[in-house]
Every structure is written in structure tokens, then in C-alpha cells.
Amino acid sequence: LQTTILGPALCLLLEQRGLLVLHASCINIDGHAVAFLGGSGWGKSTLATAFHRQGYDVLTDDVMPVKIAAGQAIVLPSYPQFKVSPEALVSLGQDVERLLPVYTNSQKLSYAFTQGFQESPLPLTKIYVLKKGNQHEIVPIDSQETFSALVCHTRTINLLKEHKPLIARHFQLCTELMSIVSFNCFTRKPALEDLPALVELVKADIAKTNSCKLALELSVPTQ
């Protein structure tokens, strides 16, 4: 019952209140929200957990509510819990003996934590659209693929289709988000031993993005 309430029921309620609710996990990097977007089993929670184990605060896992207003996208924190496979947790050095399944017969464990939870909202600046492949790579993504990913990885998208006003509002929010946030396609091999390398790849990409922004700001002449 708890899984249903904190999943589909809560997502639909948030959508009705004007929020965009994505199937994503989100972390705090340098005061900005950075999200991993994708379907179940694509590695969202595993990547967020890997960052958390390195000392980064977490905003959301699996359910990411985004408030879009005044040209800014804000991620609202959810609750301090990951839903991760036992193999992923063991690879990250976590003792899983006392952890319980998310629900009966679930293949994922509930990993609740008390430290490293970002309790206040943060501006969303980057979304990585996850993709499985034979190599690790972060590349730009075009607008058509971005929009498709946002719609595909919206929580309760099937329920929204039954309500035309909600689905129209949803499409509008997706379009607005694309104009505010930077998107990249993040291709990764499904190899748990590569998690440290994936964390470093994301950190390097964000550092590169920040350097480009700074260079652009410095190149603009002052009036």
C-alpha cells in the first residue's frame, strides 16, 4: 500500500497541482539539481546512490517533481530512500543484510538514509537521459529526442492520457523545461564495477559545462 501511495497516487496528485513529475533520480552538485532520467532498471537509482556514497546530497529517487515558473525549473525534494538492487548496493560497499525489500517479492531493496538528504528545493540545470550501450559516453541530444524522452519517462503518463487538460498542460511543461534545462544522452554499459568511472564522467561533463558558461560570460562585453 505504501508503494502505491508514494508512487502512482502521489504522482497523479502532484500533476493535478501543476507540477511536472518525471521518472528520474536527482542529486545536488554544487548547489544545482542534476537528474538521471530513464525507465525502470536503467540505472537511475544506482547512479544516484553511487554519488550519495561519495558524499553528494540526494533530492529524489524515482519520483522527481519539478515546479516550472518564471523561467526557472525547481526540483522539490521527496524522501530519503533509494530503491536499489542488492548487487548494486554490495558493489558500492553497502551492507545489505538488514535491508528489506521495497515490497513483498520485490527484487530491489529499500535503502533508507539519514545523512545526505537535500531537504530544500534546488534549481534544475542538467538532465542526463540514460541509455544502455557498449561504451560510456555523454553526448548532446536533439530537441525531438529530448521531448520524446520527457513524455516517455513521465510518471503516470497512461493516466494523464485519459484527461485531455492534464496532458495538454503536461506537453506545455515539457516544452518549457527544454528551454530552461540542459539535456544530454548518457550511454553506459550495465557493469556495476564501472560505477566509479561513471560518477567521474558525469563530474567531468558538468565541470566542462560550467567552464564553457564562465568563458561565455567573460566574453560578453559590459555596457
Q: Quote the pLDDT of residue 100.
A: 86
Which has more confidence, 167 or 214? 167
The band of 165, judged by pLDDT with boundaries at 50, 70 and 90, is: confident
* 90 pLDDT more than 60: yes
Q: Quote the pLDDT of residue 189.
A: 86
**Range in 5-14, 106-115, 152-161 the model is least confident about:** 152-161
Q: Quote the pLDDT of residue 6.
A: 66
Which has more confidence, 80 or 214? 80
**Average of pLDDT values for 162-168?**
71
The band of 159, judged by pLDDT with boundaries at 50, 70 and 90, is: low
Taking the CB of residue 49, how many other CB atoms lie within 10 A of it? 26
The band of 222, judged by pLDDT with boundaries at 50, 70 and 90, is: low
- What cell does 202 get? 558525469
User: Assign residue 149 a region: left if phi > 0, alpha if psi is -120 to 50, beta otherwise?
Assistant: alpha
137 beta partners: 187
Q: Provide the Cα torsion 109, 156, 43, 95; round to 10°.
A: -10
Highest average pLDDT, of 21-25, 160-164, 168-172, 206-210, comes from: 21-25
* 5 pLDDT more than 90: no
**Average of pLDDT values for 7-20?**
81
Distances (CA, A) of 214 to 43, 113, 163, 220: 31, 35, 43, 10
112, 105 contact by CB (below 8 A): no
152, 40 contact by CB (below 8 A): no
Q: What percent of the chain has pLDDT over 70?
A: 87
* 220 pLDDT more than 60: no
The number of residues in the chain equals 223
Q: Compute the mean pLDDT over every residue in the chain, rounded to the nearest whole number.
A: 87
184 beta partners: 128, 140
Q: What angle do CA 35, 154, 69 make, to 5 degrees?
A: 70
* 132 pLDDT more than 80: yes
* 214 pLDDT more than 80: no
Q: Within 13 Å of residue 16, how many CA atoms lie on the same side as its CB?
A: 9
**Average of pLDDT values for 195-206?**
94
